[in-house]
Homo-oligomer: A and B are copies of this chain.
Amino acid sequence: MANAVPQRQYKIGEVAEHLGITARTIRYYEERGLLDVPSDRAKGSHRLYTEADIARLHDLLQLREFLGLTLEELTELAEVTQAQQCLQDRWDTTTTDEQRVRIIRSAIPNVQRQLQLVQARQRRLADFAQQLTDKLDRMHDNLRRLSPRRGRR
């Protein structure tokens, strides 16, 4: 069924542009083991990516950007995303229900952890926004105190 749809593949430049990064970054992530490299790619031949590969890389980039992680921390935190294949890819055709259940069960706590970290970040950002708002208020107060409106007094 899903077999009938041949997957479109994307070149590294297309992926990079779509994600707003450079090809160098993608190659570097591969070098660091963050991207699973197809074992059959001949040295020197073009890299090709599926939509699932792109989605995974997109997740990695968001985690790194919003949480400010090193690539090492990212590697740990993202092992889940391996199992995120479950959402696409060859998941449909090559896995038994039992395997799927096991994969999802092991992936859930990891996504929960990511969500917790993001939520902690949200709280800290909200604090910072409040600090800036307070500062603006104080500045306006000071202005009012220092330059009383003409016509008053």
Contact = CB atoms under 8 A, between A and B. Distances in A.
B115 A129 contact: yes
Given A115-B136, A122-B122, A122-B129, A142 B100 contact: yes
A36 B121 CA distance: 30
Contact of A136 (B65, B108, B135): B108
A126 interface: yes
A138 interface: yes
Contacts of A139: 86, 104, 107-108, 111
Interface in A48-95: 62, 65-66, 68, 84, 86-87
Contacts of A101: 143, 146-147
A22 interface: no
Contacts of A147: 97, 101
Interface string A98-112: 001100110110011
A6 B45 CA distance: 69
A122 B119 contact: no
A133 B112 CA distance: 8
Contacts of A140: 108
A28 interface: no
